[in-house]
Amino acid sequence: MARFGGSNDSNDPNDFDVVLPRIIPNGSLDQIIFRVDALHWIEDQGIPVINSPRAIERSVDKFYTTALLSQAGLPVPETVVCERADDAMTAIGGMLADGGEVIIKPIFGSMGHGLVRVGDAELAWRAVRALEQMRSVFYIQRAIDHGGRDVRLFVIGGQVVGAIERTAPAGDWRTNVARGGTAQPIEAPFEWRDYAIKATRAVGADYAGVDILESRTGEPFVLEVNGIPGWQGLQAATGVDVAAAIVELVESRVATHRGLAGERVHA
């Protein structure tokens, strides 16, 4: 709740040393805009927000994330984002032409919710028609044959602190641990660690979970950057105290902020 004006104005930014958003709950467009705008307002008062609202906005939007990853020179799956159903079907037809499959995703969403994987034009048309009636944006991506496995790398303060290989449950292709996938620790190749750090930097995040798929031919693709990542599965698999590492990052940022504030006072 925010209160302005009158005798009960209680919005003193000095009440906070730092803000660490851990969730942007689902809601109406008004509710989501209000929540993110509140983070922007707090940051504008000089209070560190980790991750910043700008980074959160970028990472929750699959279009924006993919555009930034591609712009940063990172390998991403072939992707088309459009508003017209005809354009969507043209893109899908091109991807299906070589016998592959496509994944139709919501622009916003996590943990594998709302994803549709199709290898047939008729089934794709049904999905597109349903989304068209909802006035959705079409996010269409060539499916990567990854054998039901992917890698989640956790980046904090510009360093990869841990990595896990996730395996999809039987009968599913989604690897999310929250959906029944299993996880085991791995030592990620240097190239993948570099990709994860660059992907986190591309969205402007201080910490993030970065998902990388490896095709059956050994080609890696950066799929997503989660700016409000969970870490229970990774911490359980690797033994890395992710929470402590994030607290250390937050404390460092607060100390830097206080030092800069002190310099401004004495300037």
- Look at 112 and 187; give whichever has higher pLDDT: 187
- Whether pLDDT at 235 is above 70: yes
> In angstroms, rounded to a whole number, what is the distance separating the alpha carbons of residues 84 and 79?
15
CA distance 267 to 259: 12
Report pLDDT digits (tens) over 169-178: 776 666 666 6
What does the pLDDT read at residue 71? 97
Is the pLDDT confidence value at 96 over 50?
yes
**How far are the Cα atoms of 25, 43, 224 from residue 32, in angstroms, in the given order?**
8, 17, 21
* pLDDT at residue 181, as a whole number: 73
Tell whether the model's pLDDT for residue 22 goes beyond 60: yes
CATH superfamily of domain region 145-246: ATP-grasp fold, B domain (3.30.470.20)
Neighbour tally for 3: CB within 10 Å: 9
Reported as a single tens digit per residue, the pLDDT across 179-219 is 677 789 999 999 999 999 999 999 999 999 999 999 989 99
Rg (CA), the chain: 21
Cα gap 70→76, rounded to integer Å: 6
* CB-CB contact of 176 with 184 (8 Å): no
The DSSP code for 170 is T
Res. 244: pLDDT tops 60: yes
- Judge whether residue 64 has pLDDT over 60: yes
Residue 39 dihedral angles phi and psi, to the nearest 5°: -65, -40
Helix (H) or strand (E) segment spanning residue 192: helix 190-203
pTM: 0.88
**What is the average pLDDT across 75-101?**
94
Which burial class, exposed, middle or buried, applies to 26 when counting CB atoms under 10 A from its CB (0-12, 13-18, 19+)?
Answer: exposed
3-state secondary structure of 82: strand
Rounded to whole angstroms, the Cα distance separating 8 from 209 reads 40
* Bigger pLDDT: 12 vs 92: 92
pLDDT at 10: 60
CATH of domain 79-142: 3.30.1490.20
- Domain ranges for the chain, please list them: 79-142, 145-246
